[in-house]
Amino acid sequence: MNQDHQDERTRIREAIDRLLTGEATVSNGSMTAAALAAEAGVHRMALYKRHVDLKREFEERIRKETRQIPETEKRLRDTITKLKTTIANQKAEIEELRQLVTNLTLASAVLTDEKSASTSPASIADNVIPLRPPTT
């Protein structure tokens, strides 16, 4: 590792300590990766790409030392809850639509049967001679 990279890592570790002790100097003090990057003076994407291990270490220390859930995990849990609700609603809607299709199919069959039953032998064309006389 070059010296600049090592300096970045040192600044990030110091920023982690400041955020966890509530002594933020540059950032708003929230327990997020964005606040950590601001506090350390590094670009947020550098934290996400080059220093993933330090970001994970920060999140793990948040869990252990402050007994809090990291903001990203809270947002993910909220999203999961919303998605589970959406899935349940869609399953209920699909079941309702299946019932509707079944009912419409049965109604169509009844109407078709009624129509064929109401067709009387008198409606047979004049040029058609039945093989058997119609039973009434």
Between the CA of residue 73 and those of 47, 48, 67, 132, what are the distances in Å? 17, 15, 13, 80
Residue 1, pLDDT above cutoff 70: no
Average pLDDT over residues 23-37: 87
Distance in angstroms (rounded) separating the CA atoms of residues 106 and 85 = 32
What global pTM score does this model have? Answer: 0.53
pLDDT of residue 124: 56
Average pLDDT over residues 44-52: 90
Distance in angstroms (rounded) separating the CA atoms of residues 134 and 123 = 12
pLDDT of residue 68: 78
CB-CB contact of 58 with 30 (8 Å): no
Q: pLDDT tens digit string along 8-29? A: 899 999 999 998 888 888 888 8
Q: Tell me the pLDDT band of 114, cut-offs 50, 70 and 90.
A: confident
SS (H, E, C) 52-85: HHHHHHHHHHHHHHHCCCCHHHHHHHHHHHHHHH
CB-CB contact of 39 with 15 (8 Å): yes
Q: Read off φ and ψ for residue 110, nearest 5 degrees.
A: -65, -45
Pair of tokens at residue 9 = 């890592």
Residue 39: burial class (beta carbons within 10 Å; 0-12, 13-18, 19+): buried
